[in-house]
């Protein structure tokens, strides 16, 4: 009762005259596959995802086009392997005419479709592994349909496994008489990723639990990344102990990225290697090694997973931003903006980031993350002294953050954005609770730790500030944000009279990013206090080149950094005398 329109490797498109027929067909496919899977090991099973939608289509030549096909494909991407997702339009049509259980996933936004789509799963929510509660079927299914497919009424299906013994390792297209010209190959959902079980390289097999714990925690942490689609633990663990090519896994699971790694523990030492692979090309996008002493195993495990998740979030944004797209949506622009914000500080980069987030918000005015990221970008442009109208930027940033929190009170990013604005306005005591709330909601929001530390410092709690910076550096020891953290540790050390330690931190900051004016200014004071006036003068000249705020000591003293009496008192006996020795004019 359905017509197959297109086949292409691991997908096909079909349409049906009846919503009931389309759903019955999809259920029959899944039941037949379950019967074939009986008695097979996990690695030899075959799983499909199916999405079904009711909508307009256009037949052009031998191809099927239209939003109906697009939405069916997006629903398929939302389904679990072995599962079926229906749109609300299909749900309304079938009513109670079929003996199936449906679970609502609420409204979901899908790419290139303006309005959100109501989504239902057959037999339970994704990830629960519940069987399809289907009664006797009045229809039979042709054997030709038992292949990876895109079903369209419109319905959509893609393969999760194709590992049956005796079959070729590559899925072969359906050779049906009704098959016409192929559609475009199936593309894995954006930010879709599987975290493969980490390999235990320790000599002790008993350490397997630690490797599994890292894998499970990472799966949970990565799922918090905005826009991510992370395959469930049970799916990922079917690959445990097996050798697979990342491209093969990408085809089988329908994911764009594969995260893999290893854990080696010896005594009180643990080494974790992790790498991110593009499942479409097999290219290695990012790799990092983490070495730690173990004192508190639980704390170390949390720290490591938070570090990896933080690094991965940035790397995924960069990787996605590099992918060409003819019709970018709000998430495309958010990812591009975030990638731009990882570049070195410059007016060009920060203006570009603002424009990209503005584009995202224009496409989706209700997107909380777009509003929060635009707020952050505007605030950063002000604090980096690159704004042409700081007051207007901060006022707009504050409004955006508050609008985001009104729409989503538990948005860690919106709390972080509001904290950024308050800090930039010199209202650090009000900013601290916002940053702390962001950390509570999302412990991988690492910059929030550094901002709490800086706000603690600016409000006079100098001793409380350092641990926050140390935690931020521990969780994210590399990347574009590290230079200001090093620099601010140097500032604290210099103001407390630890000049030699201060210079070490400030030089590290300058090595990471030589365009931070405050780092050069504090290095100028540090070198001068160490008796190296020539180096001090050179650093002061660079600070003055980068910022007008260092043209005179009078200008420096106006900085909000020294509003707190305790901080000003420290600066008057350390930093200000150092700048004088480096040659700064009084007025």
Beta strands in 240-395 (DSSP E): 257-266, 269-278, 284-293
49 and 127 housed in the same domain: yes
Instruction: Judge whether 275 lies within some domain.
Output: yes
Mean pLDDT is lowest, of 60-64, 170-174, 220-224, 380-384, for: 170-174
Biggest CA pair distance of the chain:
92
pLDDT at residue 129 greater than cutoff 60: no
Task: Give the per-residue pLDDT at 380.
Answer: 95
In this structure, the answer to whether residues 143 and 47 fall within a common structural domain is: yes
Is residue 265 pLDDT above 90, yes or no?
Answer: no
The pair of three-digit structure tokens given for residue 383, joined into one six-digit string: 């604090």
Give the burial class of 550: count Cβ atoms within 10 A of its Cβ; 0-12 exposed, 13-18 middle, 19 or more buried.
Answer: buried
If one compares 246 and 203, the residue with the highest pLDDT of the two is 246
Are 103 and 80 a contacting pair, CB within 8 Å?
Answer: no
Examine residue 208 and state whether it is found in any structural domain, yes or no. yes
Helix (H), strand (E) at residue 421? helix 412-424
Lowest mean pLDDT among 54-58, 170-174, 436-440: 170-174
Out of 62-66, 299-303, 491-495, 568-572, least confident range: 62-66
Which residues, 6+ apart, have CB-to-CB distance to 323 below 8 Å?
none
The reply to whether 169 falls in a domain is no
Residue 177 lies in a domain: no
**Domain at 14, CATH number:** 3.30.70.1230
In a domain, 173, yes or no: no
Overall number of domains in the chain: 4
Does 176 score more than 50 pLDDT?
no
Residue 161 has pLDDT above 70, yes or no: no
295 plus 366 within the same structural domain: no
Confidence band of 545 (pLDDT split at 50, 70, 90): very high
348 versus 165: which is more confidently predicted?
Answer: 348
CATH code at 255?
Answer: 3.40.50.10610
**Domain end position, chosen among 419, 445, 471:** 445
User: What percent of the chain clears pLDDT 70, i.e. is strictly above it?
Assistant: 75
- pLDDT, one tens digit per residue, over 8-32 is 445 566 777 778 888 888 888 888 8
pLDDT of residue 322: 62
Q: What pLDDT was estimated at residue 98? A: 76
- Its domain, for residue 531, covers 458-587
420 and 468 both lie in a single domain: no
Query: Which of residues 245 and 502 earns the better pLDDT score?
Result: 502
Radius of gyration of the chain (CA): 28
Q: What does the pLDDT average to over 91-104? A: 76
Q: Which of 281, 307, 322 is the last residue before a domain boundary?
A: 322
Average pLDDT, the chain: 79
457: pLDDT confidence band, cut at 50, 70 and 90?
very high
Q: Is residue 172 part of a domain?
A: no
User: CA–CA separation, 490 vs 496, rounded Å?
Assistant: 10
What's the rounded Cα separation, in Å, for the pair 259 and 196? 6
Residue 10 pLDDT: 54
CATH classification of the domain holding 580: 1.25.40.10
**Dist. CA 244–CA 457, nearest whole Å:** 50
Do residue 308 and residue 415 come from a single domain? no
β-pair type (117-122, 102-108): antiparallel
Does residue 293 sit in the same domain as residue 329? no
pLDDT tier at 295, thresholds 50, 70, 90:
low
Residue in 430, 426, 428, 365 with CA at minimum distance from that of residue 400: 365
Asked if 524 and 539 touch (Cβ cutoff 8 Å), the reply is: yes
Window from 18-27, 58-67, 242-251 with minimum mean pLDDT: 58-67
Q: Where are the beta strands (DSSP E) in 94-246?
A: 102-108, 117-122, 155-159, 192-195, 199-200, 229-230
CA–CA distances in Å: residue 372 to residues 114, 190, 358, 462, 476: 21, 21, 11, 29, 21
Query: How many helical (H) and strand (E) elements, i.e. helices and strands, does the chain have?
Result: 22, 15
Pick from 322, 352, 387: which residue ends a domain? 322
27 and 122, same structural domain? Answer: yes
pTM of structure = 0.54
pLDDT at 76 over 50: yes
Residue (of 264, 47, 21, 2) closest to 148 by Cα position? 47
In a domain, 170, yes or no: no
489 and 472 in contact (C-beta within 8 Å)?
no
131 pLDDT tier (thresholds 50, 70, 90): very low
Asked if residue 276 is part of any domain, the answer here is yes
Same domain, 247 and 387: no
pLDDT band at 226 (very low <50, low <70, confident <90, very high): low
End-to-end CA distance of the chain: 87
- Distance of CA 434 to CAs 14, 410, 423, Å? 51, 11, 10
Rounded to the nearest 5 percent, the helix, strand and coil shares of the chain are 50, 15, 35
Closest CA to 480 of 318, 257, 352, 259: 318
Tens digit of pLDDT for each residue in 311-363? 777 676 666 666 655 556 787 788 788 888 878 778 999 999 999 999 999 98
Nearest in space to 113 (alpha carbons), one of 152, 153, 59, 68: 68
Average pLDDT of 512-523? 94
Q: Which has more confidence, 470 or 481?
A: 470
Check whether 470 has a pLDDT greater than 70: yes
Are both 432 and 476 inside the same structural domain? no
Same domain, yes or no: 71 and 146: yes
Give the pLDDT of residue 404. Answer: 93
Question: What is the predicted pLDDT for the residue at 298?
Answer: 58
Q: Clarify whether residues 483 and 496 are in a common domain.
A: yes
DSSP code, position 186? P
DSSP state letter for 106: E
Question: Are 304 and 338 in a shared domain?
Answer: no
């Amino acid at each position: 009762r359905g017509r197959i329109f297109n086949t292409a490797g691991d997908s096909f498109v079909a349409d049906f005259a009846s919503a009931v027929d389309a759903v019955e067909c999809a259920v029959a496919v899944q039941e037949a596959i379950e019967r074939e899977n009986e008695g097979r090991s996990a690695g030899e099973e075959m799983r499909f995802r199916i999405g079904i939608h009711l909508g307009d289509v256009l037949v052009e030549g031998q191809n099927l086009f239209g939003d109906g096909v697009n939405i069916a494909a997006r629903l398929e991407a939302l389904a679990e392997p072995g599962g079926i997702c229906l749109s609300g339009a299909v749900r309304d049509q079938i009513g109670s005419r079929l003996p199936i259980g449906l679970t609502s996933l609420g409204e979901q936004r899908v790419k290139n479709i303006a309005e959100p789509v109501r989504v239902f799963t057959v037999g339970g929510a994704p990830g629960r592994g519940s069987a399809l509660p289907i009664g006797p079927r009045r229809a039979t299914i042709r054997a030709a349909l038992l292949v990876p497919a895109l079903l369209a009424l419109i319905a959509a299906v893609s393969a999760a496994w194709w590992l049956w013994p005796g079959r070729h390792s590559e899925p072969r297209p359906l050779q049906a008489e009704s098959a016409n010209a192929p559609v475009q190959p199936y593309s894995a959902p954006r930010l879709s990723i599987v975290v493969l079980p980490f390999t235990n390289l320790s000599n002790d097999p008993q350490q397997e639990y630690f490797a599994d714990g890292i894998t499970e925690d990472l799966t949970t942490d990565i799922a918090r990344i905005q826009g991510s689609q992370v395959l469930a633990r049970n799916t990922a663990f079917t690959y445990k102990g097996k050798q697979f090519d990342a491209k093969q896994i990408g085809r089988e699971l329908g994911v764009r990225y594969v995260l893999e790694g290893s854990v080696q523990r010896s005594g009180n030492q643990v080494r974790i290697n992790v790498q991110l692979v593009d499942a479409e090309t097999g290219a290695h996008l990012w790799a990092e090694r983490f070495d730690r002493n173990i004192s508190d195993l639980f704390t170390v495990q949390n720290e490591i997973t938070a570090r990896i998740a933080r690094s991965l979030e940035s790397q995924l944004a960069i990787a996605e931003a590099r992918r060409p797209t003819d019709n970018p949506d709000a998430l495309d622009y958010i990812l591009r903006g975030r990638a731009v914000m990882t570049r070195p500080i410059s007016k060009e980069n920060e203006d570009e980031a603002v424009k990209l987030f503005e584009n995202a918000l224009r496409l989706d005015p209700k997107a909380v993350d777009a509003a929060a990221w635009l707020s952050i970008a505007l605030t950063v442009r002000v604090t980096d002294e690159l704004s042409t109208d700081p007051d207007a930027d901060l006022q707009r940033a504050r409004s955006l953050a508050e609008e985001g929190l009104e729409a989503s009170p538990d948005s860690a990013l919106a709390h972080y954005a509001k904290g950024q604005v308050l800090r930039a306005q010199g209202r650090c005591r009000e900013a601290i609770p916002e940053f702390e709330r962001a950390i509570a909601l999302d412990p991988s929001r690492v910059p929030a730790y550094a901002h709490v530390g800086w706000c603690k410092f600016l409000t006079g709690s100098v001793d409380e500030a350092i641990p926050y910076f140390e935690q931020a550096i521990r969780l994210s020891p590399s990347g574009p944000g590290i230079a200001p953290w090093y620099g601010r540790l140097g500032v604290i050390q210099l103001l407390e009279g630890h000049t030699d330690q201060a210079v070490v931190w400030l030089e590290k900051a300058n090595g990471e990013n030589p365009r931070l004016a405050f780092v050069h200014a504090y290095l100028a004071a540090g070198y001068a206090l160490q008796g190296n006036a020539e180096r001090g003068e050179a650093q002061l000249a660079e600070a003055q080149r980068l910022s007008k705020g260092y043209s005179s000591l009078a200008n420096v003293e106006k900085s909000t950094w020294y509003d707190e009496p305790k901080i000003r008192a420290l600066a008057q006996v350390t930093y200000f005398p150092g700048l004088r020795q480096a040659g700064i004019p009084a007025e």
